[in-house]
Structure 1
C-alpha cells in the first residue's frame, strides 16, 4: 500500500519522460526520495496531520 501511494505522488511515468529527454541530449538524471515521518497516537491522527 505504501509503495502505491509513493509511486503515485512521484509520477514514475513523468520521470521516464524526463530520463528519455535527458538521454537524447547525452545527459543522465538521478532521482532521490525524501521521506518525512509523521507520528501520532493513531493512524487517523497521522493521516489528518499529513493532509
Structure 2
C-alpha cells in the first residue's frame, strides 16, 4: 500500500496505519495505548512508525 494511503489512515485511525506498516507487534500495542490516552499522541506515533519503516 502506498505511503500516502497509510499516512491518511494514520491521521484518521492511527492503529490501522501502524498495523498496515508493521503488523501485530509491540508498536501496535503502544499506538493503541497512546491513542486511548490522547488522539494526538497516537497520530504522532503512527506517523513516526510509517515514516521510519
TM range (shorter): 0.3 to 0.5
Bigger RCO (CA 8 Å, 6+ sep): 2
The structure that is helix-richer by fraction is: 2
**Largest Rg, 1 or 2:** 1
TM value normalised by structure 2: 0.32
